[in-house]
Amino acid sequence: MSKSTGQKNKTQVQWSSPSNIALVKYWGKHGQQLPRNASVSFTLSHAKTTTRITMEDMEGVAYPAVDFTFEGRQQPLFAQRTVKFINGLTDVCFPFLKGKKLTIDTQNTFPHSSGIASSASGMSALSLCLCDLEMQCNGTTIYDAAFYRKASLIARLGSGSAARSVFPGMSVWGYHKDISGSSDDYGISVADDVAPVFKNFHDDILIISDKTKSVSSTAGHQLMDNNPFAQVRYEQAEKNLTQLMIALKTGDLEILGKITEDEALTLHALMMCSNPSYILMEPASLEVINKIRKFRQKTGIPVYFTLDAGPNVHVLYPHEYVAEVKKFIREDLSQHCVNNHIVEDQVGDGPQKLV
Ligand code: DP6
């Protein structure tokens, strides 16, 4: 369903793809973007990236000539990363890109400065577009499991966590002995293996800081290479994933919540004991975490937190408690956020082909 622009050599595709939030975290990698342990995440709904690529013939270029804009403007840093990624793919996986001009326009539904990682949604949207263009060049348009698997593999090469964003609901990336079909090369959907309570689980993201992260994920992963606790961590992640998959299937919120919180705190503990060390939480992150735990104890409402490699706190809870938890967030937590900023999200249906 690509849009024909009237010229034979011009093809346009557009995809939106969501961000995701990991419950068992990917932290540590090797080789060509291969994970040290398997991870699992909820695919989100509202926080997403939309990318459009227009491809046309261009004579005399070995690598594609890329014209990149982010939200209608030049963005040299994003452009550089995108060009490097696409050039790498042209040699290895996508020779059809040789002799092409690519006009890429991309936008996020969340503000760039909100501190929400955009690499998962950005790289997955871009990869879906590239895989779609490849198919169209081959004269096919079958958006089947093989298509999404390839898109996940390509997305992984751009950013590990992006491998999980191409699937609806919930997905696993990384080989795990108990998860059939799992692979280090690409993510897989595990949406069918989860209890109904998780199909519309909420994730409200408290923006504790909107500053750029003090250490990039890529640098953070590298620090694991010399972290004295790395091996123990990878073994723990494997056990946590085994238990978490059971909790997801049975709908056991208590176990899910305990593992999810342990994973978030472990990720931050690993950064604290890396060399150099980093403290990625802010005082407000800790205040919010303590308040969430007290609220849970007092009310019995199963509300839990997780964090990525930054200070923002993700508040996770089942849909049936939406009124109580949103009131709690509004009255007790929003004061800790930059300009009371909260990104309200929930588990979603995955990427969408728009053109
Ligand atoms: C803490 O996927 O951003 O969010 O592969 O270097 O791009 P790169 O790293 P990235 O790492 C994400 C780490 C995390 C945990 C997770 O999403 O699993």
As a whole number, mean pLDDT of residues 253-270 equals 98
332, 288 in Cβ contact below 8 A?
Answer: no
pLDDT value at position 91?
Answer: 87
| Residue of 221, 224, 281, 306 to mutate, ligand 1, most atoms within 8 A of C-beta | 221
Domains and CATH numbers, the chain: 1-355 (3.30.230.10)
pLDDT value at position 111?
Answer: 76
pLDDT tens digits, 94-115: 999 999 999 999 999 987 766 6
As a whole number, mean pLDDT of residues 9-13 equals 94
pLDDT value at position 114?
Answer: 65
Q: How many Å lie between the centroid of ligand 1 and the Cα of residue 312?
A: 15
Residue 25 has pLDDT above 70, yes or no: yes
Task: Give the Cα separation of 28 and 224 in Å (integer).
Answer: 5
* Model confidence band, residue 213 (pLDDT cutoffs 50, 70, 90): confident
Share of the chain above pLDDT 90, in %: 90
157, 85 in Cβ contact below 8 A?
Answer: yes
Q: How many Å lie between the centroid of ligand 1 and the Cα of residue 217?
A: 6
182, 163 in Cβ contact below 8 A?
Answer: no
pLDDT tens digits, 283-302: 999 999 999 999 999 999 99
pLDDT value at position 110?
Answer: 86
As a whole number, mean pLDDT of residues 271-286 equals 97
Q: Is 189 in the pocket of ligand 1 (CB under 6 A)?
A: no
Residue 4 has pLDDT above 70, yes or no: no
20, 45 in Cβ contact below 8 A?
Answer: no
As a whole number, mean pLDDT of residues 292-315 equals 97
pLDDT tens digits, 189-212: 999 999 999 999 999 999 999 887
A 10 A CB-CB count for 77 gives 8
pLDDT value at position 5?
Answer: 45
Task: Give the Cα separation of 338 and 67 in Å (integer).
Answer: 34
Residue 6 has pLDDT above 50, yes or no: no
Residue 40 has pLDDT above 70, yes or no: yes
| Residue of 217, 224, 270 to mutate, ligand 1, most atoms within 8 A of C-beta | 217
pLDDT value at position 1?
Answer: 43
Task: Give the Cα separation of 139 and 152 in Å (integer).
Answer: 21
Task: Give the Cα separation of 168 and 86 in Å (integer).
Answer: 25
Which phi-psi region, left, alpha or beta, contains residue 72 (left: φ > 0; alpha: ψ -120 to 50)?
Answer: left
pLDDT tens digits, 57-91: 998 888 999 999 999 999 998 899 999 999 999 98
275, 230 in Cβ contact below 8 A?
Answer: no
Q: Within 13 Å, how many C-alpha atoms sit on residue 212's CB side?
A: 2
Residue 2 has pLDDT above 70, yes or no: no
Extract the tokens encoding 124: 């997955």
Measured from the Cα of 159, ligand 1's closest atom is 7
Q: How many Å lie between the centroid of ligand 1 and the Cα of residue 115?
A: 14
pLDDT tens digits, 319-350: 999 999 999 999 999 999 999 999 999 999 99
* Model confidence band, residue 248 (pLDDT cutoffs 50, 70, 90): very high
